[in-house]
Structure 1
């Protein structure tokens, strides 16, 4: 596969792209997807925006009333690029790890890394030191930029990586370093197919997969889903819950608003109702969150907070027809459903307005096409369930990972979801077809949780599956075998749950934990997760039958 000459001095990312014959097919079918060979996404997102919309237009907002204009964001991202190149010796192609909650400085850092021609490694601030250490080992960053409140686990894992904090008060703080810079920087002339972003995704083997995205990929999702489904205007104010380390949040709260001259409300941490309150106070018109949050807002009787939105997006987990109808009844909003993946960067199946059919996810977004495949990779006719497969301007490229051949089959990106398609091209979700647990919009790899539980001294073995839950979609359910003499009571349950929270990101902990005397295995000793799932299905059926008999 022919690639444009790279601007990268450090060739790590190109050297570790998967073999060309394992790439998915790429299609650039829309005029807006015809990108030049030389392209830096930061130029398109901030420099071009300043030129087109003006330096004084609001870009980033925070709940305390702080507003960064496009001009201020441009200057600070240039200053970050200056600090990286002049003070820290970063050269094009080096990786820079970012760690922090949703706030303006993490956006400035993200843009500054791209301007310097470096590669952003996005990470969740909730990750523990062992998880961060794994990502550092995989991506080999030379610098890590962290919010000063989240630096402890990072420093414990950093090894020889230079760590720079922001938001503190010491002389080495990034904000202090930036204040000493001119804010003028000549952005590195990267190739459109130079790697710009490394995005870790939770896998089902316990080892994270790292997706690789080019500069053109960052713009492609704005020029497909955002342009054609959301149809943003410069007067829009975007708001939502997903962290910027998730590509769902990166698109919805950074790339999309900047691409169209709009602004974004960045909220570090808030529950669903508080988030909706802040969004309403800021005059938000476009809202991103998971179905769990919409249900919570309605449950608290605060659907009124959503009524002034122009459009509300639900993604990250399955949106049921019941939730869609409940939101519509209270607010009048027609929730935009969608499915995307870190591998393709953002949403590729969706619908908006009168094109929405409640209960379905939608149709292939303009610029993408989708199909349902059988187990042999053959495309199925409408009305049949099978593996969802997608082709478009973005696609899966894992960093040096043999799992590339599982995600890409015959040129298709095979997402790991089971869907059906009707005669009109609408796709309807059936289930996940792997061991991923999607809970409240978070992807949680069951083996990673199992590995954390196994580290507890009283645990002999365990198995983790997802259990259906009306509020969260799915919750992590763990079956735990304790060592002899240890009592499996409520105190021990909480102890293990707290242990997991301290070992890996807290949102991954098992909300349900059952003590058992043994786990089902086949004759060769392989754990049979399906039997545990079947037992939960049997319980649900028994409870349903009992409820019907009582009625």
Structure 2
């Protein structure tokens, strides 16, 4: 595939793309996927929407304010000027964003893209050691953070400038931006210039950064959103996934703005509060995980879902029991789907009368999906195997040998075991690696092991995921303590709190079992399948 001339002055991203021979095959057969060679996705999503639909359309909503498309355009232009004029940002520089779901973090995202730079998204819950790893592999020029989340980033950034947003001081980004002109000439990037480095946890505990182009940002809107979600300009979107998740970025920013709709941004909400917000703001499209749908029903607020036109679930497997419970209590059908950071968003799904309860759905228009055996050969329908996908988006890891594991013979191998039936529906079986998917969060077992092992009373640990009715899976740790340390509930609580302080709190083990030693191969490799057996053993 021929590359077009890059607008990037800083060539780090193109220099660190995997060789094209290791890329997946890309498909652009749909008319909606015919993109020009020069494309800045911020121009398409924001500037062009203002030009065609007007600046006064509601765009970003919160509990206390509404930003119009014109407001977002002006503020993102001003922030882009801060980056370029005050910090010398040039096209291709990486800018790390760390913030909650609020309008200013969206404005920062667009500002970075307008300037031709590359967004590095980070989860607000990540701690200093995790941020330090991401900074090491993405080498940002500047970082931007909510002031309330600044401490861990300041500790991790060393000499890299940290711009805070929301602090009452002259150096705050909001204050800096207010003095800038509200116009900006967007950089004329190539459609295949990298615009997003989206981190994803690796099973080794070392994060990977997936590299996505400007055209990729639009492609999921022009496939999954266009053909499955089917939004209109009058829709009001909301959801619980952080904008740092590609699931959240697509569902709460890209998809609504592709059609001129608006989105309600919620920084934090209990299931009950989310249900109330759906009613109060007349939300019509909801993106969240199965856990949230189940919790809303248990709060006795099923009625809140009845007014929502589209209920979308992803981030973890949707049990058939949850789908049927929502259907029975609300009359609404949840749209299930599977996506991934490597693919940017959802590539298998089904809606309305096309849904088979319990199935994830069929390949989204624009994508192909097959089931392969361990040798990469397609297996007959009805046979369990490895999910293989290709389409307009796909995996390109930033300078990472694991590219060879994810992409095989032109196919993206997602790490999921599925069965495809004779009608083309895909039925989830299990994860095929060490990833634990709990309440929509992808948690790499080795990351949790690393955090536990930092405790002075721990010799070593092994972590697995165990089935759970509430969260799909929970993190469970099997721990070897230093001799003489008591094995009791107090120690379990201590270790859990320690992990919450060392890593993102959602990674902490909800269950802990103490053992004398971990099962290993003769070469010393941990045998995770044995850990599942140990987890069921009673405490001594």
Structure 1 residues 378, 537: CA separation in 2 closer, same or farther (over 3 Å shift)? farther
- The equivalent of 1:280 in structure 2 is 279
Pairing 1:41-440 to 2, within 5 Å after superposition: 41-64=41-64, 66-440=65-439
- The equivalent of 1:453 in structure 2 is 452
Give deviations 1:466-498, integer Å, cap 9, x for gaps: 010010000000001110110011111111111
1:375 Cα offset (Å): 0.6
Q: Specify the SS of the correspondent of 2:26.
A: coil
- Native 8 Å contact 2:203 2:444 kept in 1: yes
Distance, in Å, in 1 between the alignment partners of 2:133 and 2:535 is: 33
1:280 Cα offset (Å): 1.9
1:537 Cα offset (Å): 7.3
Structure 1 residues 538, 515: CA separation in 2 closer, same or farther (over 3 Å shift)? closer
- Native 8 Å contact 1:265 1:279 kept in 2: no
Distance, in Å, in 1 between the alignment partners of 2:416 and 2:535 is: 21
1:538 Cα offset (Å): 9.0
Instruction: Please tell me whether residue 486 in structure 1 is matched to residue 452 in structure 2.
Output: no
Structure 2 unpaired stretches of 5+: none
Pairing 1:519-538 to 2, within 5 Å after superposition: 519-536=518-535
Instruction: Please tell me whether residue 509 in structure 1 is matched to residue 499 in structure 2.
Output: no
- The equivalent of 2:34 in structure 1 is 34
- Native 8 Å contact 1:374 1:387 kept in 2: yes
Give deviations 1:382-410, integer Å, cap 9, x for gaps: 11110000000000000000000000010
- Native 8 Å contact 2:271 2:299 kept in 1: no
- Native 8 Å contact 1:369 1:391 kept in 2: yes
- Native 8 Å contact 1:42 1:111 kept in 2: yes
Structure 1 residues 26, 537: CA separation in 2 closer, same or farther (over 3 Å shift)? farther
Distance, in Å, in 2 between the alignment partners of 1:92 and 1:280 is: 42
RMSD, aligned α-carbons: 1.0
1:521 Cα offset (Å): 1.5
Distance, in Å, in 2 between the alignment partners of 1:480 and 1:351 is: 42
Number of matched residues? 538
- The equivalent of 1:9 in structure 2 is 9
Structure 1 unpaired stretches of 5+: 540-551
- Native 8 Å contact 1:452 1:500 kept in 2: yes
Q: Specify the SS of the correspondent of 2:464.
A: strand
Give deviations 1:180-218, integer Å, cap 9, x for gaps: 011100000000000000000011100001000000000
1:536 Cα offset (Å): 4.9
Q: Specify the SS of the correspondent of 1:431.
A: strand
Distance, in Å, in 1 between the alignment partners of 2:192 and 2:521 is: 47
Q: Specify the SS of the correspondent of 2:79.
A: helix
Q: Specify the SS of the correspondent of 2:485.
A: coil
Distance, in Å, in 1 between the alignment partners of 2:335 and 2:399 is: 35
Q: Specify the SS of the correspondent of 1:144.
A: strand
Q: Specify the SS of the correspondent of 2:347.
A: strand
Q: Specify the SS of the correspondent of 1:347.
A: coil
Distance, in Å, in 2 between the alignment partners of 1:537 and 1:32 is: 51
Give deviations 1:437-472, integer Å, cap 9, x for gaps: 000000000000001100000001110000100100
Distance, in Å, in 2 between the alignment partners of 1:315 and 1:521 is: 35
TM-score by length of 2: 0.99
1:128 Cα offset (Å): 0.5
Give deviations 1:98-118, integer Å, cap 9, x for gaps: 000000000000000000000
1:125 Cα offset (Å): 1.1
TM-score by length of 1: 0.97
